[in-house]
Structures are given as C-alpha cells and as structure tokens.
Structure 1
Amino acid sequence: MNYLLKNGQILLSGELRIRDLLIVAGRIAAIGKNLVASGVKTVDLQHAFITPGLVDLHVHLRDPGMTAEETIATGSLAAAHGGFTFVGAMPNVLPVPDNAEKLSQLIQRQQAEGVVHIGQYATITQKRTSQYLVDFAQLKQAGALAFSNDGSGVQSARTMLQAMQAAQTVNLPIAAHVEAEELVQGGVINAGVTAKTLNLPGIPETAETAQLARDLVLAQATGVHYHMCHVSTAAAVQMIRCAKQVGVNVTCEVTPHHLLLSEQAICNDDGNFKMNPPLRTEHDRQALLQGLLDGTIDCIATDHAPHTIEEKQLGLKKAAFGIVGSETAFSLLYTHLVKTNFCTLAQLIEWLNQQPIKIFSLGLPTELAVGAPADLAIFDLTHPFKINAADFCSKSANTPFLGEKVYGKTLCTIVAGKIVYLADELKAAITDE
C-alpha cells in the first residue's frame, strides 16, 4: 500500500516544519508542501510529528523459553506501539543462541513473526556462563548483531579478554552487562538510604564499577568496540568519560527509568521498582543526565524486560528484576526531558535514532529523505494521555509509570512502507484517493 501523509511536522535543521510525505513501494518518494498523488491512501496528520523510526539496542523478547512473559509477536508489536522500528534482542532466552544453528533458527522466526526489524545478539559464552567461548566467526556469519551475556556479567577476566580478542577479529561489538556477582551478595535495590529504610539488602555501586574498570582496561588492550549496557552510576559515567578521552573504543547506553527515577521513588515494597541495575541515588541520576548532554553516554535504550504479574507481586526481595519500556520510552522522555527544556526534540531523536544506528553501524535511515526506506514513527505531541496497562501490546505491564500523564502518544509506526501500528485516532483519518 502507498500512502500520502499530509500536514505532518518534521525536523528541518532542528526546527519543526509542516510538510507532506509520500510513500511508494516501501520508500519515501517525495517530501514537500501541498503534495498530490493518486491511487494512494491519504492520511491527514493534523500537525503530528513524523520522525525516522526509533531504534532500541536493548530489549528482551523472552522467546523461546519464557513466552508467558513475552513473545516475538507481542514484543515486536510493543516496540511498534512505542514508535520503534528496530530492536536489538538480548540472548537470555532458552535455549540460548550460542551456536550458528540456534541463532539462524531464531532469526528466521523473528523475520516471520516480528513486525519490526529485529537484530539478535549472540552470547559471548556457551550457555551464557563465564566458561567456554562461542564460535564468534560462525555466529557473525549466521547474522549476529553483536555479542552479549546480558542478564549477567562475564565473571572471569580471562574469559572476557579472550572474548574481546575474538570479537575484535570479527569486528562486532561486545555489549556488556557489567556486574561483579560476588559484590552483589543478594542485594535487591541500591545500597543506600532507601535500602536501609525498607530493611532490604543493597547492591553497591562497586558491583558495577569494579567490573567496568576491568573491562575498560581489557578493551583498551584489545581495541574491541566495547558497549556498556544500562549504565547507572555517576562513577561509571566518569570512568567512561575518561576512557573515551584516552582513546578506548567504548560506547554506552542509559535507560529511561535510570534517567527519570532515583531510589527516592521507592516508597514501599513494590516489585515494579525492582530492576537490574537498580535505581541509584539522585546524584547518580543527575550524572546520567549530564553524561547524555556531553556525549559520554551515546544513546538511550529501554532494557524492555517483561515479567508476569505473579513474578512482580512478590515484593522487592523476591520479585524478578526488570520493567517494560518499549511502549512508554518516547512519551516519558518527551514529557520529562523535552517539555521541561532539558533537551530539544532533535537531541532526543538523536539519542533514540541517529546515535544507536551510528555506534552499531546498522545502516538504517537516520533522516527523512527521498529514496530512504519508509521506516517511520508518528507521534501526537499536543494532547496528554495516561499510561494505561490496558493499552499495552506487550503481554506484560510491569512498570512503575502506570497512571502517569504524558505527552507524545504514538499514532502510527511504519516499517518498510507497511503500517505495523495504528492508533484509533488515525484509523478514521485514512481515506482513499
């Protein structure tokens, strides 16, 4: 189907301008004012915002093995509902994609069952332990996006060094979940004031920084592209800043929840506030925001981590780690960062599109341009709405942001010219011409 999107707002030189956009055969055929076309579906966007599709380097689709929490179909539709046209799926599924055959089979399923582009991480080690390395060359040939043991850190320095050497040889990133397990010691939230108040075991910042220090030294020695997942502490931001200054090939991501919440938000025994890494101090949160502004932190990724209601109703001590994020990321960030003038809309799109595409060399569209693939998201920036679990496309709704009033509702997501998510507000606006 071909579409003429009328009266949309697009970013031109950092400013919003009203333009029409024509999509033909899966690509952008024209951008301009007062465009006319026959034999297309015409959609009056009434000044809604059109952007290249958002890109999320870090989601958990839970499929295969944990499909009560999420599936390829529901997880990709949740991403589309959030305006994402590409997601990077972490390999902590069962069985883990630790050889070429399992990775290929998983990628084939994702292509058949997903509604957005999905890049699949392979594991760093067999069975996602800290012992035996995978065959990096075969997994790259099978289509690996990068290598990660996300869900747990690689505990052996020797294993991580060898993994970095192998990843450097095949020119793919190592995406590290940075966590020294021997320092966690059963912690469930940040080791700080809130943990003491609620009498809960805490996770110290050194669980993050001690392993990060090791990894940065090894990354410098090997030259590998080392990507730190979900940075959460001020100390880690400063370590990465210093590493970049001396030429270490390091990038990192931050989650919306670490940008917007600190441990102060945890007022009671609510498992929806339990994530790994945990919400840190207000000082840490401010350092993450500053790290985004100065370029130390390269991009924003959701760490979308669905769990069942039963898994999250066990309280902070026993609940599973993680919250969903695909469907709320843009609206929360637009509301709390752009509307408060912390950053511009152009900067937010840079962190959610251009930067992840650049640092992982994804080759996806970074701007609305004639001839580019029609991977687009359309948002209503004007009207507020409440985050409601009943509206989610994910199988799970484990998030502390339920009920919050936000702006930036997703109206439509288009992948390769095909509408993969359409809000009720636009369904009535589509007419035949």
Structure 2
Amino acid sequence: MSIKSKLAAGLGRITYQVLHNVFHRGSSLPGKLAYQFDPKVLRELSQDYEVIIVTGTNGKTLTTSLITKILQQKYTDVLTNPTGSNMTQGITSAFLAHSAHQTTDKKIAVLEVDEANVAPICEAMTPSAFVLTNIFRDQMDRYGEIYTTFEKIVAGIKKAPQAKLIINADAAIFNSIDLPNPKIYYGFSDQNHEKDDIRAKFNVDGVLCPKCQHIMHYHLITYANLGSYFCLNCGFQRPQLDYQVTAINQLLPDQSDFDLDGEEFSINIGGMYNIYNALAAYATGSEFGVTVDQIEQAFNSNEQVFGRQEVIQLDNKQLTIILVKNPVGLNQVIATLQTDTDDYCLGFALNANYADGIDTSWIWDGDFEELPFDKIQPIVTGGERWQDIDLRFKIAGAPADKLQHEANLDSFIAALKSQPNDKIYVLATYTAMLQLRQKLIASGDIKQK
C-alpha cells in the first residue's frame, strides 16, 4: 500500500473508531474522508479480496446478508457493508471498519452496491462476481426508467469482463444484452407449467420483449414481470436455470419454507420476494463451494437484518419494521401481510428525501385496496409526507375511524405503543426507517451492538 493510501486509511480508521465508539454511527463519513484524501484507497484496501457485488432494485441488503452468512460457514475472512451504505464512501468505510483475520483461505468481500454506483465501484476495485437481483421502476428522479437503470449496471459490468454473473433469469432485462462474462442463472422452476400461456398485469413494467418489442408471454409468473417468459414473435425466452426454486411449501409473514433444487430450506422472513433473495444467496454460495448443509445452517441463523422485516420488542408489543420504496416491493409486502391470520396495527411512515426518492406518486401504484382492513386496527400514518399516505389509505377504502395521523415521529411511536393489538407492522421509506430506528435506539427499544 502506498504511503498516501496508508495515511488515508489511517485517517478513515481513526474517524470510524471515534464515530462508532462515541456516537454509535459512522457508516459513510470515514470512507468519504479517506477517499477524498486518496481516491486510490479503495483499490488498495480491496486488493487482497475476491469481491462480490450485489446490485439491483429490490433485495440487495437481505441478499448481501444471506450471502455473507453462507460464505462465513466456509471462509474465515468475509467482509460486508451491513448497514446498506452502498455508495463509494460507505463501501470504503466497510473496509476501514473490518478487522482482517489471519487465514490461508481466500478473503471475500460481499458488497451491496447502489445501481447507479456500479461503474464507479468497478473503477475503484476489481470484482470477481456480480449478483443481479431484479430491476423495477424505482426513484425515477435518480434512475429514470428501468432501461436506464440497467444501462448503469451494464456500464460497471463491462469494466470487469472476467467476473462471473449470477443472474436472476426470471428478469428478462438481464437476458437482453450479450456480455462476455461467464453466466450462472437462477429462478423459479416452471415444471408442470410448460403448456401454460399467461401474460403479466396491464400496469407492469418490463413485459415487452427486449429483442423485438412484442408483448412477452409467460409459462409462470411469480410476481410483477418475473417468471418463465417467452416471445411468440421472435423466440426470445428465459435461459436454462442452473439453480431453481422447485417448491414453495409455506408462506407466513415471518417465515418462508421452500425447496431449492429439491432440498428443503426455511428462512425466518416472509414474502415471495425474499425467496428470490435466498435463492440468489444459495446460488452464490454454491458457486463458491459452500455445501447444502452449510447453507441450511446459515439460513437458520435467524439474525435480524437492518430495517428489513426487523422485529423489535416495543414494550409488550411485537413491532416489525419493513422497508418500502417502490410499487413492486410495496405490493409484495402487502401480499405478505395478507398471509397473517391475526389482527394487527399498521403504521406507514412516508418521507420524500433524496435517498427515498423525492416523488411520492409511486404509492398510487401500490395495491392498498388489497389490504385486509377488517383485521387492521388502527392505521397510523406518519413521516414528513403523512398527508400523501393518509390520502392514499382513504382512497383505498380504509375506514375513517381506523385512520390516525401523527406528523411528529415521537407522537407516531407513542401512538403505536398505545394500540390494543400486540402485533404492529410499520412500513417505512428509507430515511423514515433510519429516523424511526434512531428514536428507538435512543429510547432503548433497539439495543446497539
């Protein structure tokens, strides 16, 4: 490491220790300072690691967490960015915060990377693999349409033609361009559906054939535009799968039981979309030599993931925080809530800061009308844009006597604590989730590690 990089790394580590030990924060500032001092510091810090980049619209944080847990079953030194700080400064901070282990094994860095930052990260380090989750319409003020998001990811992949691509084959957009990289495909088995011919819902993005622009057909649709697709006009179709979901055995709000390649697995988190995350992690672990038994052990570790169906004990109540940020993810959360047979309180904290996306119109594409309002008592709306989400619930048919708004976050939390139900779900955009967690940390409801 050059003298300049050593000084940059030293500055970053000192900053991290002060912020982490004294103020219990520091996910991006140490990296920002180090990177400004020496733009080559990230390449120097990562040079001994095989780097796995996880990117896509939804599922990056959980997929990254699951891959990390799986690889830790086999490898001693596995580095990651666990808080979801997924731009250059946050990733630099992750290396600065990591305590390297003495090992003869390969060192691995599993990094969640923001879609728009894949190219800058690939200029700063050399990845060994990319894990591609999905692409949906999200934060159009930052990313534009799904095709511009894909272009940003491809720009990074083209800087690493040697890297293996571990691809969600059920997302047609990932199969729309020929890249020289070695490719591994994962998805849902369409066995027993080979003769089915269905189409996606009328308001779903990404259902035009990327080769000829005709509407694609499907043998199987899991949700949104994901599934076993084919084009009757030009013959474009989903590639053959290397790893697949072969059965879904049970879906509950806090548990999913399923088969991968005929082997039974379970994760302590609900939702069809999270089975994709588990499948991506399973495929990645398998490609890195982790056994089925080791993967099962990692899935059973039951560790909470920052802000993603994170369960918190709020006085005598069970509070589950669920991040929402776009219509597809929101609709999957709504579908997951439909599997709960108990009554519960529902909170929704909506912000519209840069990290959330400043345009809140996406909530109107969510299937709020599908919520089981008869089981929900009450609905508490909050956040900086509580008026928008309050109106959306009203239009969806939520009874007026069940709606309660609390513009102040302290009042929002107090309202949740005062509800009669023992079970609470809070849907929150990114900065609202961070603000909520900080309040709960300050009150002692979330214990800092």
What TM-score, normalized by structure 1, do the two folds share? Answer: 0.29
Q: Which structure exhibits the higher relative contact order, with contacts defined as CA atoms closer than 8 Å and separated by 6 or more residues?
A: 1
TM-score, length-scaled by structure 2: 0.29
